[in-house]
A = this chain, B = another copy of it.
Amino acid sequence: MSFTYQYAHPAVTVDAVVFGFDESDLKVLLVQRAGEPHRGSWALPGGFVEMTEDLETAARRELAEETGLSRLFLEQLYTFGAPERDPRERVISVAYYALVKLMDHAVRAASDAKEVAWFPVADLPDLAFDHEEIVNMALKRLKGKIRYEPIGFELLPEKFPLSELQRLYETVLEQPLDKRNFRKKIQGMGLLQDTHEIQQDVAHRAARLYRFDQAAYQALRKRGFNFEL
């Protein structure tokens, strides 16, 4: 089977930069390429867009297929289309970035035996194609957006102590934050619900666990509230 057009058409792919956070650092999910070009190199999960599916749908499908991830926060990042970015043919890639709660989602390699693994953003391997550029743009976007939209919670487990939220912000923004000011500000927003639970199995005083209150956020937003940290 083949497809013929009067004019040349590029191929269109979607690629996703999936971020995760564990106590110590920010990580990106990469897959090892099974085919040429760049066989064996690490790359962003992604693949070709089907003719009948939406771009975001394509990104979610590829993520599910290649990494087993679903139901995650996903947002379009930028479209990369330098003529020679793929040596095979002209390929335009619509890049997305995603945020996942690391604890909730064990990743599994796709059936076709490609490896899937998390890498700290501070220490990424060489990446295929222009994927390093894509990751850098995703990092910049995350860094910018986490300050004025409450997307950081997408990277934390449902229930979390304030110190973990602070560590996340410090990691992403790459700057230390004052503990008392941080707590005052975030608690003052009224977006955190006290679960009345505390940490288990910690070797020191256990912290209270909070939950992001999505309903309260939506209600506040309707009244003109703007998240900002």
Q: Which of A45-86 contact B (CB under 8 A)?
A: 48-49, 51-55, 76, 78-79, 81-83
Q: Which of A137-162 contact B (CB under 8 A)?
A: none
B83 close to A10 (CB less than 8 A): no
Distance (Å) between the CB of A6 and the closest chain B CB?
6
Interface residues on A, range: 20 to 34
Which of the residues B6, B9, B49, B52 comes within 8 Å of A5, measured between beta carbons?
A: B9
In the assembly, what is the distance between CA of A82 and CA of B1, in Å? 25
A4 close to B7 (CB less than 8 A): no
- Asked if A108 is at the interface (CB within 8 A of a chain B CB), the reply is no
- Asked if A99 is at the interface (CB within 8 A of a chain B CB), the reply is no
Chain A interface, >50% SS class? loop
In the assembly, what is the distance between CA of A76 and CA of B7, in Å? 24
B54 close to A82 (CB less than 8 A): yes
Distance (Å) between the CB of A88 and the closest chain B CB?
11
In the assembly, what is the distance between CA of A53 and CA of B48, in Å? 21
User: Which of chain B's residues have a CB closer than 8 A to the CB of A9?
Assistant: 3, 5, 9-12
Q: List 29 A-B contacts (CB under 8 A).
A: A1-B6, A2-B4, A2-B5, A2-B6, A3-B5, A3-B7, A3-B8, A4-B5, A5-B11, A7-B11, A7-B48, A8-B51, A9-B9, A9-B10, A10-B49, A12-B92, A49-B81, A49-B92, A51-B83, A52-B83, A53-B83, A54-B82, A54-B83, A55-B79, A55-B81, A55-B92, A76-B78, A76-B79, A92-B92
Q: Which of A101-149 contact B (CB under 8 A)?
A: none
